[in-house]
Amino acid sequence: MAKAICKSIKKKGLIEYSQVYVSSPFSKNLDSWEKLGANVFTDNAVVAKEADIIFLAVKPHILQGAVKTISEVPWRSQIKDKLFISILAGITIADLEQMLSKFDRSRVVRVMPNTPMLAGEGCTVYCPGSTVTTEDLNVVQTLLEVTGMCQVLPEHMINAVGAVSASGPAFVYLFIEALSDGGVRMGLHREMATRFAAQTVLGAAKMVLETNKHMGTLKDEVCSAGGQTIAGIHALERGGVRGVVMDAVEAAALKAAELGKLTKK
């Protein structure tokens, strides 16, 4: 996810890779970043010192350890006036601010991005912390709006949004694959079936966004009386597709909340 954010911002010309500092305890994880031209380190504290904006892009359960490695350096006092942007699922702003309070004048913004930002069609939301400035928010908005849709929202909504937009692409890829499989089953070549399936989903999504019509209305416009589409819809409804998708979103949202609780243990 960190690489998707960085690449999408670079693609829009807002940064150069030479301005990017990346750390990982495993040098192998840094190879691809080094090839891009980023500055790479195995020490988190070096990145925290050099960067003005710090993206926290680790697994939730190792966040405390990562912050600890930064806070224990002898020159911790030099890590100040930093804007921390967290993309971690489930970790609340209150928890982040408590962990990062060791650094003078630190500010926190919680962000939930998704991978389609690489294609310029991202869906990103963010929640400002209690000490974030107007300038900070302008910076965050400028960085993320070039990746697609971007808006601020209350924190209590972020797990639900993450389940829809951050996890959603995986659900949609599964659906595209299933459409492609259906095409293959009915005689299409795989490459052709996948291209048609992906373009169909893209077109349908644009219809929702650009017409502002209810999805049920758009569906009905495709379903002619006694036609092939209503026969397919019947099969989907018989399989409980709506309930299954709703269950998937619920499971993802509840998992995000669970990850936040695990971090406190």
| pLDDT per residue as tens digits for the range 239-262 | 999 999 999 999 999 999 998 876
How far is the C-alpha of 23 from the C-alpha of 62, rounded, in Å?
A: 14
- 37, 18 in Cβ contact below 8 A? yes
Q: pLDDT band at 201, cuts 50/70/90? A: very high
What's the pLDDT score for residue 78?
A: 86
Delineate the domains of the chain, giving CATH numbers in brackets.
Answer: 2-154 (3.40.50.720), 168-260 (1.10.3730.10)
Whole-model pTM: value is 0.89
DSSP sequence for 201-257: HHHHHHHHHHH---HHHHHHHH--TT-HHHHHHHHHHHTTHHHHHHHHHHHHHHHHH
- 260, 90 in Cβ contact below 8 A? yes
Question: Residue positions in the annotated binding site?
Answer: 24, 44, 57-60
> What letter does residue 81 receive in the DSSP assignment?
S
**Contacts from 172-179 at CB under 8 Å and sequence distance 24+?**
172/201, 175/201, 176/201
Question: Residue positions in the annotated binding site for NADPH?
Answer: 44
What is the token pair recorded at 256? 């995000």
Question: Residue positions in the annotated binding site for NADP(+)?
Answer: 24, 57-60
Q: pLDDT of 85-131, one tens digit each?
A: 999 998 999 999 999 998 999 999 999 999 999 888 999 999 999 99
Largest CA distance in the chain: 75
Q: pLDDT of 15-35, one tens digit each?
A: 999 999 999 888 888 999 999
What average pLDDT score do residues 168-188 get?
98
